[in-house]
Structure 1
Amino acid sequence: MRILVTGGCGFIGSAVVRHIIGATGHSVVNVDKLTYAATGESTAAAAADPRYVHVRADITDGAAMRAIFAAHRPDAVMHLAAESHVDRSIDGPGVFMHTNILGTYTLLEAAREYWSGLDADGRAGFRFHHVSTDEVFGALQPDDAPFCETTPYDPRSPYSASKAASDHLVRAWQHTYGLPAFVTNTTNNYGFWHFPEKLIPLVTINAIAGRGLPVYGDGGNMRDWLFVDDHAEALVLAVERGRPGETYAIGARQPRSNLQVVGAICAVLDELRPDPAGPHARLIHHVHDRPGHDFRYEIDPAHAESALGWRARHDFETGIRRTVQWYLDNRDWWTALQARHDSTKRLGVAPAGAAA
């Protein structure tokens, strides 16, 4: 297949690009406008392959999207481009509405126009895969069953509300126009090339530098953690095997509290890069919680595992060790990011749990 991937220079998108080029025979058209959280370095290995092309364009630009469909003739779309940081959505919700809602609408219309012009076999084989989040389902209490494909929507932040709206648009285009579309919802991802404003890279970088590790509230907020390479594998299997109108909830069965995550990072660093001043956990301190902080997210991935023939390969301990080692080995990348983003005050200072 020729797969059009939006947001392919972002964290999850770049993992998808690397997986497609490295592990399949498919080709990639990566549509990414290179916002602050996207880095070309994350797709450098793929860029050397003739099956890969990057088009710098904005998904809210309808003319550009139509031109990309006409020029590259994709067999499938994997739509990952989105604004995704909850704290940023609280501070400035407008860009989330613009990118996540208007951008998805614009892409759907370009895809529908292109799909309508295909022959019968092309229309039957085409797929529009919309990648979403478990945050659209709201928050779980300690004894609640995990989210699944039939969990009612109850978004709590501007970010999750914008993603919920985009999910509804995709399903409406599938139901009303017959566009062969489906949705995947996932939980918190972690791994390589993660922009350092999110919980795990931020804590890792702060701890390496000996800076404080501020944790929201009591640190008890729970998330289900999925290694990004495992997620990328699931997403590509979904575009190969997914059925129009379906939903696939993708998770790792690895719930941890924010405080447990921070403690695990500290323990790995104590082993890999001991600090003469003492255990890294000494840097943890608690700060006032953010507005509307959801307590718990967790996914039951049983349907996705069965339908896609997939299961997460990494347990949390293995994945977090690999991730911390990667940040130790790639200091030049994240220090350069910090230097380039002087206006991004979150780099190195946001409370742990800001992205969770």
Structure 2
Amino acid sequence: MKKIAVIGTGGTGYSVASELSKRGYEVWLGEAGGEEKVEDYAVYDKKMELTGAIKGTAVIHAVTTDLGAVLEGAEHVICCTISNRDERVARAIAPHLMPGAKVLLSAGNLGSLIYHRVFQEFELENVVVGETSGNLFSCRRAGENTVFLGNRYKIKNAAAFPARNTQRLVEAFRDIYELIPVSCILETAFNGPNLLSHISLTLVNAGAIENSKEPYYIFKQGICRTTINLADGLWKEKKAVMDALGFPCIPSPSNSFRKYADPSIHEFDDFKNLAGPDSLTQRYITEDIPILGCLFLSVAKAVGVETPLYAAMVKLAEAVNQTNYYEQGRTTENLGLGHLRGIQIPQYFQQAD
């Protein structure tokens, strides 16, 4: 079977690498380095147990910091790193990508734009980069040799940047993951679940999360009338923005919340057993707010749609963590797109080269 390079040794990276290995692919899992440089290492034939919604044993061909070895001859690259690190990871892999490589970001949150800019700087030949709407799996690394998957793979919407490459991306990954092409990466970002689900559940459950003596399960313990109503209020603002952009809008997360809260429905039991968060300084806030939430606010402003409830939630997160997320976030201004207004926003993501 073909070689697949997976970048990122967190929960998603290990889960994606394990699931692909279980299906027979030769998977090389690469660590791109976090805030601090990690020591060089290489482990071959790493055995992993899959638990939760997918069960079984997998052997990952290699887990290493040697990105040259990971990416050598790999036409398919799947990046599973936190969005806050997009530019750093793009610069780490760019020197090692083969001509014609197809790079897929799991829940890219507009990261494809960042990668594309880096790849242009490196003058890479014919490399395609795109992203999925939402993570490939809801998952955790449960131990050194164990991953927990909250769901099986569900067909994802996907887009590339530039959007003219979307069909090439979808076709390239056809035998690995079924992807549905959509208009652009802005549509995939805003229709990913984390724009609304984490912000509506985490902030109002801060006391329960921070005072819990046991692992906290947000999708099991955090859903109530209050969070359902809050999700609907946020969704109404999102729907107005999506209408202004001309994008379809997925239903409110409250529809799923009601199913999670129904004790007679067991379809989502594995998903509800995903532990976390254990604080308000984890990625449910520190990734989703600056990367996705602030992008949403900046786009809403550019298309002339008022979003007072969502803006208040971002302000609350900033106060809680004493951080100006909007100032540092992935906004249109910080992306160099602050001059775009109205219909120019979707047009840029659909037509830019």
The reply to whether TM is greater than 0.5 is no
TM bucket (normalised to shorter chain) is 0.3 to 0.5
Q: Using CA pairs below 8 Å that are at least 6 residues apart, which structure has the higher relative contact order? A: 1
TM-score by length of structure 1 reads 0.41
TM-score by length of structure 2 reads 0.41
